[in-house]
Amino acid sequence: MKNYVDLDKLEKVPKGILFGYRDVVDDTLDNSEHSKYGEVFKSQVEEGLINNVTIEKETDARMLYKKL
């Protein structure tokens, strides 16, 4: 399933910096869809399908990722 991550935005995230899905999501994705596709991105990170990104912190409201 597509995660709607803008690869250029993801590439620009410096190594070691925390970021959220909304920081790297494609601008064409409607805000109402962020939760749905944010879950897809989270699953892909957990499965190792997204290179050099780990889950750093999970809260009820937001997932924070770290670029390695």
pLDDT in tens, 33-48: 999 999 999 999 999 9
The two tokens of residue 65 are: 């990722």
Question: pLDDT tens for residues 5-61?
Answer: 999 999 999 999 999 999 999 999 999 999 999 999 999 999 999 999 999 988 877
The residue written with tokens 């957990």 in the block is 46
Task: Find the largest Cα–Cα distance for the chain.
Answer: 29
Is the Cβ–Cβ distance between 56 and 36 less than 8 Å? no
5 touches 25 (CB < 8 A): yes
Residue 64 DSSP SS3: strand
